[in-house]
Chain A
């Protein structure tokens, strides 16, 4: 094993190739572009394919074709590009085709898009939000496993910091072994209803004897599968010193890095502050947030938008503790995606003010 200093995007691409990704398609968009470039550089050597597609519509279309043909496949973009992909993400979910979609977002304005989905129909996508190269590697591998297991698109949320910060990654010189084609894509058996040979968002429940395909039965199956998937994925969150915290911060992604620094500083100064960092954004780690909030005076949701994840935090806490939003940040004009108001100093000030406001509260 050697340690290499690489751009965050290369760490992401490296993780995808090590997870067995052998088909990638994307359309350049900052800060996603470099992931595409690193995949283009690395995949051919592994016998894989990377396509600089003509738009995000085509990129995700190619990816679900490749996934249907048995490849571990992924695409990605940034905010707007994900908007264009929503049609395919929802249809692929209905068709039972799994692949990974990266959102190297600008800021955190796409939380709703990621966790609720911007497409049509009754579908959900698991959403993972790693921070740091080790977790990037771990969760990207997990994302492919989830996509295969649940035959559903899986979203991995990153951002500008993840894409453009240089990080050290552990890598072995061995080329990652290709993953065998998943046998489940289609089983190919002859006869029967045709379910064994056809990928279709309308389902494969076509019947004979004058009866058309049974959409109700298909959508019922999709709904059951979604419920099963929801129950089958263990929500994950990192807890930082929440045991006796008076103020519990909830933050994900890069914002959690700021919050983590603030928690450490304030703890060193004797303040009881903790952090919950959701790692799965969907399913949301409701239990972890609820447990951390128990006994706290206030829960502060720190996110780089006008307040989106705060809804999920409120649903987790269910009124047991006041929930306030430390948000309202826009993305800045540099397109870096992190508001200039997002600083350790500002967050420290906000938390101290909350401690002050709630200092007299009985706990």
Chain B
């Protein structure tokens, strides 16, 4: 449990390669699934994370993404649909020395597991949560999910989905998550960097990975993540830098008092007007404004670390030792007057 001695004991981290993090299981998703590159990115990144395999736990719920525990040469739990954040919370609190990853899709973590996700985030449990957002239920072969765009025609929404989609990063920031980032399955290097940053973060780290489901929701993010579109459509977030993108940095982001974060032509504003990215802002409102850019994933979309702030990690706060007054009174009452001790 929470003993500081064990967390500070230095352990020798053996040098590993990607292969050391691969299990002996045959990796099986649909051919062309974005999950293959995400798995590869995580396994390429892990040797740089400074953890031992035996101190690493991967917890999945149910869904395509949740198959990760089978493919990782670590400890793992393939748990219950939606419940991965709760199970991972138990793992992390029972043994704070572990690196605990939660892997789930938009169904697992935002539908049935939405509540669990919110509470893991607001508690700031030391977890690295990777949400693969393909905006569809893939394992059950193509029904709309909580991130599917309004009007989406699927097998369970033949007239088009009426539901308004959730924006995962807005949800996480709404829960005051201390680390919030976005990456995508078409850029392995970017994924590796974001995963390393997320793992390095103390507390709950939330990463949305835009992921293509080439069978049930193909081209989900093509207009953003396809190589030819990236320059115009991806807004890279660089700490301390004014937010610019597009050919020759011709576009930028400003904060507008009425409309939040807004994309502008940099020619129309002065350099000083551009929003300087600061992931360490204590207040989540600017990060939230950025998360609202491209709500339907068809406009320029920020990519990178939106927020990274230090807050006490769950289980490491200083305890309050004062008794609530009511309980103190009843205890005093019961132990007052004629009491005796039986030896």
Contacts and interface: CB of A to CB of B under 8 A. Distances in A.
Contact of B24 (A70, A188, A208, A212): A208
B75 A186 contact: yes
A361 interface: no
B128 to A, nearest CB: 15
B343 A58 contact: no
Contact of B83 (A2, A61, A190): A61
30 contacts: A2-B341, A22-B1, A22-B94, A23-B94, A25-B90, A44-B319, A47-B3, A48-B1, A49-B1, A49-B2, A49-B93, A53-B86, A55-B115, A57-B116, A61-B80, A61-B90, A62-B86, A62-B89, A65-B77, A65-B91, A66-B90, A71-B94, A73-B94, A188-B54, A193-B24, A194-B24, A197-B75, A198-B69, A199-B78, A208-B26
A65 B25 contact: no
Nearest to B23: A194
A49 B94 contact: yes
Given A62-B90, A65-B86, A208 B80 contact: no
B169 interface: no
Given A22-B1, A186-B75, A200-B77, A65 B70 contact: no
Interface of A: 1-3, 5, 22-23, 25, 44, 47-49, 51, 53-55, 57-71, 73, 87-88, 91, 95, 186, 188, 190-194, 197-202, 206, 208-210, 212
A48 B57 CA distance: 20
Contacts of B25: 194, 206, 208
Given A47-B2, A199-B78, A88 B115 contact: no
A243 B24 CA distance: 62
Contacts of B246: none
A39 to B, nearest CB: 13
B119 A69 contact: no
A61 B59 CA distance: 12
Contacts of B73: 190, 197
A87 B91 contact: no
Contacts of A68: 77, 87, 90-91
A49 B95 CA distance: 10
Interface in B46-71: 54, 57, 59, 69-70
Contact of B342 (A2, A22, A60, A63): A2
B182 to A, nearest CB: 26
Nearest to B86: A61
B213 to A, nearest CB: 21
Contacts of B70: 194, 198, 206
A113 B147 CA distance: 37
Contacts of A194: 23-25, 70
Given A1-B343, A194-B25, A51 B75 contact: no
B96 to A, nearest CB: 9
Interface centre among A69, A191, A206 (most CB of B within 10 A): A69
B313 to A, nearest CB: 13
Given A5-B334, A91-B80, 20 more contacts: A47-B2, A48-B1, A51-B93, A57-B115, A61-B80, A61-B89, A62-B86, A63-B90, A65-B59, A66-B93, A68-B91, A69-B95, A73-B94, A191-B24, A197-B73, A197-B75, A199-B77, A200-B76, A201-B78, A201-B80
A343 B113 CA distance: 46
Contact of B89 (A5, A65, A199): A65
A344 B23 CA distance: 64
Interface string B331-343: 0001000000111
Which of B1, B26, B28, B319 has the most CB atoms of chain A within a 10 A radius of its CB? B1
A47 B74 CA distance: 26
B90 A64 contact: yes
Contacts of A23: 1, 90, 93-94
A59 B90 CA distance: 9
A60 B54 CA distance: 25
A23 B93 CA distance: 8
Given A49-B93, A206-B70, A65 B88 contact: yes
B116 A49 contact: no
Contact of B79 (A44, A54, A91, A193): A91
Contacts of B334: 5
Contacts of B91: 65-66, 68-69
Contact of B69 (A73, A88, A200, A210): A200
Given A199-B76, A199-B78, A200-B77, A70 B319 contact: no
A198 B94 contact: no
A70 B6 CA distance: 15
B78 A58 contact: no
B162 to A, nearest CB: 27
B234 to A, nearest CB: 35
B57 to A, nearest CB: 8
Interface in B313-343: 315, 319, 334, 341-343
B23 A61 contact: no
List the 5 closest A-B pairs by CB distance, nearest first: A65-B90, A61-B86, A62-B90, A65-B87, A66-B90
Q: Which of A5, A48, A64 has the most CB of B within 10 A?
A: A64
Contacts of B86: 53, 57-62, 65
Given A49-B93, A208-B24, A54 B77 contact: no
The residue among A65, A69, A194 with the most chain B CB atoms within 10 A of its own CB is A65
B98 interface: yes
Interface centre among A188, A193, A198, A206 (most CB of B within 10 A): A198
B90 A73 contact: yes
Nearest to A91: B80
A198 B93 contact: no
A58 B1 contact: no
Contacts of A48: 1
B75 A88 contact: no
A64 B1 contact: no
A101 B87 CA distance: 16
Contacts of B341: 2-3
